[in-house]
Amino acid sequence: MVITAAGTALPDPSAPASVVDLAGRAARGALDRAQVSASSIGVLINVGVYREHNTFEPAMSALVQKEVGINLDYIADPEPAAGFSFDLMNGACGVLNAVQVGQALLETGSTERLLITAADVHPGGDADRDTAYPYADLGGALLLERSADPRAGFGPVRHYTADRPTDVEGYLDTGTMGRHGRTTITVRREAGHAERLSEFAAHAAADYAREIGIDLDRTLVIGPAAAAAAAADSTGAEAEAEAEAGAGVGAGGEPHTAAPVLGYLRALDSVRREDHEQLLFVSVGAGPSAACALYRPEGW
């Protein structure tokens, strides 16, 4: 299973940020790059966590599907097909969870093309105004298809859980929200959590490398800035940070569920193929949990 195209989207400064808008624009950008129609998508998996107004229902995937225009009328559409969408939430590891599900769907022939969308926004619609909120308003999308090249695509996705309580979580504090529950969120991150997550990511990447048997000297690690650096120190691989804090994705905020998409696009812009023959996605977040997946683009 290969990434045919990817896209990201930032909020429109003139309007409150919306996960449906961000995910929709990122998805349409990916479809435009691949030059395929929205009606050719059989399955959409949405993995975003934080939403404007703390929206919980209906499934955001259905709203994103409508925004992108995927099989809205599978009888009248010029390319009749039944489209299916669902939410899959596992925080920072959501994209790689969706990749794992996508592998099964494409392998069984359930669909020919699969779209993963990820977007997070502050419940109040503007992360830049809340300096205590750690995440950037950002959307991302990956378009996946089967490849005829047996050497290309994703390897197995593996998940790892740390043997200790989580030190980062986001929740709506119903005891103190008052009348502002629709626009507020509590994100608790204990001191030193970034270092602990980095260490955990390093161990997960090293365990994955040993299990799969990959050449780390020819592998580019894609992960959160601190986690990727720690994984590189532990494994010997080079590291490509998904995003520096505040580097074009918000005032001090860091990417969350869409981070692997941003990291992948930045890696493609900077990587020299003669130096690397494969990529290693590393995601880490609350749980503490981590996910790793090997990826080799077509033609590498």
Instruction: Report pLDDT for 115.
Output: 97
User: Which of 22-26, 144-148, 272-276, 294-298 has the highest average model confidence (pLDDT)?
Assistant: 22-26
pTM above 0.85, yes or no: yes
Confidence of residue 244 (pLDDT cuts 50, 70, 90): very low
Confidence of residue 238 (pLDDT cuts 50, 70, 90): low
Confidence of residue 180 (pLDDT cuts 50, 70, 90): confident
Angle between helix 94-107 and 259-270 (nearest 10): 80
Instruction: Report pLDDT for 60.
Output: 93
Quote helix, strand, coil % in the chain, to nearest 5.
35, 25, 40
Average pLDDT over every residue of 37-51: 92
- Per the CB < 8 A criterion, the answer to whether 21 and 94 are in contact is no
Chain-wide mean pLDDT for the chain?
85
Confidence of residue 187 (pLDDT cuts 50, 70, 90): confident
Q: Give the position of tokens 């590891």.
A: 93
Instruction: Report pLDDT for 189.
Output: 84
- Per the CB < 8 A criterion, the answer to whether 194 and 288 are in contact is no
Amino acid letter, residue 268 = L
Instruction: Report pLDDT for 246.
Output: 35
pLDDT at position 235 over 60: no
Confidence of residue 3 (pLDDT cuts 50, 70, 90): very high
Instruction: Report pLDDT for 191.
Output: 87
Could you tell me the CA-to-CA distances from 91 to 16, 39, 108, 129, 132 in Å, in that order? Answer: 23, 28, 27, 23, 19
pLDDT digits (tens, 9 = 90+) for 112-169: 899 999 999 998 878 888 888 889 999 999 999 999 898 899 999 999 998 888 888 8
Q: Give the position of tokens 């109040």.
A: 124
* CB-based contacts of 43, cutoff 8 Å, min separation 6: 83, 84, 85, 102, 105, 110, 111, 114, 115
Domains and their CATH numbers in the chain: 2-150 (3.40.47.10), 155-296 (3.40.47.10)
Q: Give the position of tokens 């918000």.
A: 250
More confident site: 21 or 125: 21
pLDDT at position 258 over 60: yes
pLDDT at position 247 over 50: no
Percent of the chain with pLDDT over 90: 46
